[in-house]
Amino acid sequence: MSAQAQPVWSASSGLAFVLLFGAVNLFADMTYEGARSVTGPFLGMLGATGFIVGTVTGFGEFLGYALRLVSGRWADSSRMYWPITLAGYVVQMVAVPALALSGSWPIAAVLILFERIGRATRNPPRDVMLAQAGEQMGRGWAFGVNEAMDQCGALIGPLAIAGLLAWKGNFQLAFACLALPAIITLLLVFGARFTFPDAGRIAREPQTSQVGRYPPAYWWYCLGAGLVGFGFADYSLIAFHLSKSHIVANEWIPIFYAFAMGAGGIGSLIVGRLFDRLGLFVLLPVTIVVAVYAPLAFLGGFALSLLGALLWGIGLGAHESVMQAAVAHMIPRERLGSAYGVFGAIFGIAWFAGSAALGALYDVSVVAMVAVAVVAQLLAVVPIAIAGRRVRTH
């Protein structure tokens, strides 16, 4: 590939790309996070148990991360970063409004899984393009800005769903209305493709003796992120608990989620900026503080549950903004898509195992479930600290 094929990003052009994709993800998050904010009570209404809710949403997260191994390697080998990204957005944006047509929890579960498959398909190639665009402006800041705009959509979507539920009390109508931001998402992402057609052109670097191997810091970070994922109950389980325990009315559940996403957006901006200065060490205090989300969300009343949801959102936003930037610092660009895929697979397996385990424990003992979630989060501090030290010293 010639030198001309490799796009040269300035700070301004990189920022423009990040902001445009931020707009894409704002409307995308309005769509799928709006739906996700009520999938727990929706599945419960259709007859699902706590174990089913935890397993379905956990398996969805597993697919949403594990399949990145396939799409990431496919993107690196084919260099079709844009086509794979576009295909993923199409699948995701079609699956969400289709929930309006589901009349049983198995059908709804299949659509929830398809939505996660679409997200898995588009994320690694998209993140490779964002990582390259963010080289001059700072990758932590680039992913932080993108994640903040993500979370802005994740704030608006659940609030809109809450309003629709308060007005009509109909889940199917709420899902059908999400077709509007889904269409806007597709228009914007195809517009981004034609505005920045060279974004997906990544030059191949010369082969080295390290080909096929990832540095130890990468694997330590994968272990830390996996423990974080294991201890992170999917919001659908939190929502299921809030509804089943009658802590809040159903229309408040997406509002809690919206507040959590807003907190996550602010957290992603702060943590993303600090990552460019401090590296992975910025995650250590965040992980420790966020570990208390579980006792607050599952053992508290209205106010404490809301605080737990806010901490849950902050933790999710912080890790989402840092993980892509951190991996980009550890791995050469020509193998970045594959590295994102491997990382996503590990994180997804951990999230699935954790969600299923936490869902099963919830049906038996909420206190035991909370204890497992807290311990997993706190254990993650050790490998993240080791990874941060190795990155800083190499």
Q: How far apart are CA 280 and CA 389, in angstroms?
A: 8
H or E element that contains 10: none
Confidence of residue 4 (pLDDT cuts 50, 70, 90): very low
Q: Is 328 helix (H, G, I), strand (E, B) or coil?
A: helix
Q: What is the pLDDT of residue 394?
A: 46
Q: Are the beta carbons of 351 and 229 closer than 8 angstroms?
A: yes
Q: Which residue has the tokens 């990155």?
A: 391
Q: What is the pLDDT of residue 73?
A: 86
Q: What is the pLDDT of residue 205?
A: 52
Structure tokens at 208: 């080295």
- The residues near 285 (Cβ < 8 Å, ≥ 6 apart) are none
Q: At what angle do helices 50-66 and 235-244 cross, to 10 degrees?
A: 170
- Name the DSSP letter for residue 37: T
Q: Give the mean pLDDT of 37-59.
A: 82
φ/ψ of residue 195, rounded to 5: -80, -40
Confidence of residue 1 (pLDDT cuts 50, 70, 90): very low
**pLDDT tops 80 at residue 203:** no
The C-alpha torsion from 202 through 203 and 205 to 211, rounded to 10°, is: 40
Structure tokens at 202: 């990544």
pTM of the shown model: 0.75
Q: How far apart are CA 178 and CA 99, in angstroms?
A: 10
H or E element that contains 194: helix 179-195
Burial state string for 203-236 with b = 16 or more CB within 10 A and e = fewer than 16: eeeeeeeeeeebeebbbbbbbbbbbbbbbbbbbb
Taking only the tens place, the pLDDT of each residue in 255-301 is 888 888 888 888 888 888 888 888 888 889 989 988 999 999 999 89
Taking only the tens place, the pLDDT of each residue in 68-109 is 888 988 888 888 989 999 999 999 999 999 999 988 999 999
Q: What is the pLDDT of residue 121?
A: 93
Amino acid at 344: G
Amino acid at 186: L
Nearest to 351 by CA among 229, 235, 224, 222: 229
Taking only the tens place, the pLDDT of each residue in 324-370 is 788 888 888 778 888 888 887 888 788 778 888 898 899 899 999 99
Maximum average pLDDT range among 1-10, 55-64, 192-201, 318-327: 192-201
Nearest to 88 by CA among 324, 354, 341, 316: 341
Q: What is the pLDDT of residue 392?
A: 60
Taking only the tens place, the pLDDT of each residue in 151-185 is 788 888 888 888 888 888 788 899 999 999 999 99
Q: What is the pLDDT of residue 2?
A: 41
CA distances from 154 to 58, 101, 206 (A): 19, 23, 41
Better pLDDT: 333 or 223: 223
- The residues near 293 (Cβ < 8 Å, ≥ 6 apart) are 308, 309, 311, 312, 315, 373
